[in-house]
Structure 1
Amino acid sequence: MDILDKERLKECRLKLGITKQEAAKRIQISQPAYLRYEAGSRNPSIQIISKMAEVFSTSTDYLIGKSSDSSPNRIVVEQSESPSLFSLVKTCQTLNTAQLTRLTTYAKALSNVTSDIEK
C-alpha cells in the first residue's frame, strides 16, 4: 500500500525547480532513498513525510493524497535565517485570541498598503 503520492512529490519538487539530488539533500536523506520514494517503490516514514512537507512548503495531508489543498499547515521559522520573524512569532505566543486577531488584521492591512505602493 502506497502511503505517499509519488506524483505530488514530483510535482512539489518541480515546482521548486530542483533536482532529485537537491531534494534528497534538503530532506536530509540519501539520493537512492529519494529516488525510490518518487518512483513509488518504497514508502517513507512519517518523519520523512513531515520533513518533505516542510522542505516543499506543503502539508503532509497533501503529500499522502488526503487533501487537495497544497498549502502548508506548518511553517518553521529559524532564528538564524529570519530573526525579526522569529521574534514576532515568539511574541505572538504570549498574546490572547483578541490580541492575535487585531495583530493579524493589522498585518494584512499593512501587507495590502505595501502591495499598493509597489504597483
Structure 2
Amino acid sequence: MPNIQLSANLKRLRCDHDYTQEQIGRKLNISRQAYSNYERGIRVPDVDILIRIADIYQIPLEQLITQNCTGAGIINESSGPYFTGMIVESADTIYLSREELTLLTHYRNASEDDRRLTRKVLGISNPPESE
C-alpha cells in the first residue's frame, strides 16, 4: 500500500537536489528501476532505505514520510498535525492538513453547482468517475 506523500517527497527532494534516479540508486546501493518504483508508488521502501534517504537529504524520517518537504528540508505546510486518509480505489495513504480536511469535507457537502465551480477554479476539467 503506497504512501502518496512519500512518493511525492522522494521525487521533489531528488529534483530539488539535482539528482537523477540513477545517482540516488547508487547512493542507496539499489537499481534505478527500484528507486523509480518508490517514486511512482509501486513499491514502498523498507525502513533501512527510508532512513538512508532521510540521511541523504538531512531531514527527519517523519517529515519524509508524512509531510510536504522541499529540497531545503522545509515543510511547506504550516498547519498540523496531519490526518491519515486513504484513496479507496488504490488503498494509497495520503496525509492531509486540517485545512485540506476541512476543504474536502465542505466539498462533499456542497451542491453540484458549487462543486462544478470549485472544479473550474482548480482547473479540474472532468469530475472523478465516482461522483
Normalising TM by the smaller chain, what interval?
0.5 to 0.7
User: Residues 55-74 of structure 1 correspond to what in structure 2 (within 5 A)?
Assistant: 55-65=56-66, 67-68=67-68, 70=73
Q: Specify which structure has the bigger relative contact order, considering alpha-carbon pairs within 8 angstroms and separated by 6 or more residues.
A: 2
Q: Given that residues 27 and 55 in structure 1 are in contact (C-alpha distance below 8 angstroms), is that contact kept between their aligned partners in structure 2?
A: no
Partner of 2:6: 5
Higher Rg of the two aligned structures = 1
Partner of 1:87: none
1:73-112 Cα deviation digits (max 9, x unpaired): xxxxxxxxxxxxxxxxxxxxxxxxxxxxxxxxxxxxxxxx
Q: Given that residues 9 and 68 in structure 2 are in contact (C-alpha distance below 8 angstroms), is that contact kept between their aligned partners in structure 1?
A: no
Which amino acid letter does the alignment assign opposite residue 2 of structure 2? Answer: D
Residue 36 of structure 2 aligns to a residue whose secondary structure is: helix
Q: Could you list the runs of 5+ residues in structure 2 that have no partner in the other structure?
A: 75-131
Partner of 1:41: 42
Q: Could you list the runs of 5+ residues in structure 1 that have no partner in the other structure?
A: 72-119
1:47-91 Cα deviation digits (max 9, x unpaired): 0000011112222111211x45736xxxxxxxxxxxxxxxxxxxx
- Once residues 68 and 29 of structure 1 are traced to their aligned partners in structure 2, the CA distance between those partners, rounded to angstroms, is 25
Deviation at 1:2, TM superposition (A): 2.0
Q: Which has the higher helix share?
A: 1
- Once residues 52 and 58 of structure 1 are traced to their aligned partners in structure 2, the CA distance between those partners, rounded to angstroms, is 9
